[in-house]
């Protein structure tokens, strides 16, 4: 394998990571090649993570290989009647940091996006349906994006759960904290009005 081929392969692998475009991947690859210490540290970190971390067999979150299913799925202190469905495992960490949800989770592993090759078969919907049958949740909360792809995914999941005798809800959407009407788009304002709550 030539020097160019090795560099190209490294850049191609980096470009497959979320949020990294082709040009950024090429710059990262060049930086790693010029910094052998960083290359060694990164290689060791990837190798260690590969041996010690895994996707939770139940919710899809990241967990230790020796702790699978994860602590969120096995804790007796969490509300086993509530299931929060998110797009990605990283969303679980964000919700946990907020500290306002104490139920179970299920990460779909993405959202419907035909342009990116993400169809129903690419999502963890089958395992979601199996969990709903097995774990008897009372409510499923869809915590998905509010864009077109997120809305399509929410509609698809809702359709798949039809007839499962479980309440399905979606997170309220509206004006972000610390913002005002002048900074909001029409869709956000419409959802804010529809999702309004009583003050007393």
pLDDT in tens, 22-34: 999 999 999 999 9
Better-scored residue on pLDDT, 19 or 60: 60
Query: Which band of pLDDT confidence, cut at 50, 70 and 90, is reported for residue 3?
Result: low
Q: Rounded to 5 degrees, what angle do the CA atoms 161, 109, 103 make?
A: 60
Strands 103-107 and 53-55: unpaired
CATH superfamily of 3-54: RecR Domain 1 (1.10.8.420)
Rounded to an integer, the average pLDDT of 143-149 is 88
> For residue 36, is pLDDT > 60?
yes
Q: How far is CA 129 from CA 106, 110, 113, 136, in A?
A: 11, 16, 21, 11
pTM: 0.83
> For residue 1, is pLDDT > 60?
no
> For residue 195, is pLDDT > 90?
no
Domain boundaries, the chain: 3-54, 75-194
> For the domain bounded by 75-194, which CATH number is listed?
3.40.1360.10
């Amino acid at each position: 394998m030539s020097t160019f081929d090795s560099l190209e392969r490294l850049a191609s692998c980096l470009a497959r990571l979320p949020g990294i475009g082709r040009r950024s991947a090429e710059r990262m690859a060049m930086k790693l090649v010029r910094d052998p210490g960083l290359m060694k540290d990164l290689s060791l970190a990837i190798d260690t993570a590969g041996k010690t971390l895994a996707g939770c067999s139940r919710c899809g979150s990241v967990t230790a290989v020796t702790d699978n299913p994860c602590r969120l799925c096995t804790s007796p202190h969490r509300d086993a009647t509530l299931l929060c469905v998110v797009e990605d495992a990283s969303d679980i960490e964000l919700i946990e940091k907020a500290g306002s949800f104490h139920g179970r989770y299920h990460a779909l592993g993405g959202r419907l996006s035909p342009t990116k090759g993400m169809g129903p078969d690419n999502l963890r919907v089958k395992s979601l349906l199996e969990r709903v049958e097995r774990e008897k949740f009372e409510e499923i909360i869809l915590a998905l994006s509010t864009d077109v792809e997120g809305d399509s995914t929410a509609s698809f999941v809702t359709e798949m759960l039809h007839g499962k005798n479980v309440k399905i809800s979606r997170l309220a959407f509206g004006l972000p904290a610390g913002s005002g009407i002048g900074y909001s788009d029409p869709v956000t304002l419409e959802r804010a009005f529809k999702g309004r709550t009583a003050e007393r």
